[in-house]
Amino acid sequence: MATATYEAIATQTLVGSAATVTFSSIASTYTDLVLVASNGTTSGSVSTTLRVNGDSGSNYSTTSLEGNGSSATSQRQSNADKAYIVGFQAASYSSPYISIINFMNYANTSVYKTFLSRSSSNAASTYVNLWRSTSAITSIELTATGTNFSTGSTFTLYGIKAE
């Protein structure tokens, strides 16, 4: 069977609200993963975090660059129990927002895992995260911090395979 370079792995569309969305049993056959989230929240606040492999230890860090319409800011968080993808500082935003998260070399067991993302919400943002583990990523859990993802939110996971 021919292998596509850019391949859809799984999609979840919420019927009803949910606090978390999880992709599990992710195969190690790709080079990078791309997760595209298009979602709202029931409270109207914007703050999406993620964990991988169920790790809730203080093994994540985040650096952001954001423009919220009035100023450009950059923030950091080290030794955290989650990685921030959207809304480093939770804010109100009633419209759907987008996250495009690249998990670079996610199955490489010799490196810590770096995520690069951009998001569109109450701010135009880009983030880099570090997960301090050399384990291959086999599951990804997104959480709407302090609220729930709303009905109709969609999350699609793609794999990119280098030759």
Q: Which of residues 44-73 bind another protein (CB under 8 A)?
A: 61-73
65 burial class (0-12, 13-18, 19+ CB within 10 angstroms)? middle
Among 22, 100, 135, 145, binds another protein (CB under 8 A): 100
Q: How many residues bind another protein (CB under 8 A)?
A: 71
Smallest gap, in angstroms, from Cβ of residue 92 to another protein?
Answer: 13
CB 141 to another protein: min, Å: 19
Taking CB under 8 A as the criterion, the residue among 89, 104, 139, 145 binding another protein is 104
Question: Tokens in use for 158?
Answer: 């793609």
Q: Which of 76, 81, 92, 146 contacts another protein by CB under 8 A?
A: 76
Q: Which is nearer to another protein, 20 or 75 (CB)?
A: 75
- List the one residue from 20, 28, 29, 134 that touches another protein (CB under 8 A): 134
Pick 19 or 91: Cβ nearer another protein: 91
Task: For the chain, state the CA radius of gyration.
Answer: 15
122 to each of 74, 83, 106, 130, how far by Cα in Å? 15, 19, 29, 24
> Does residue 42 bind another protein (CB under 8 A)?
no
Three-class SS state of 56: coil
Our finding on whether 24 is near another protein (CB under 8 A) is: no
Q: What are the backbone angles phi and psi of residue 53, rounded to the nearest 5°? A: 50, 25
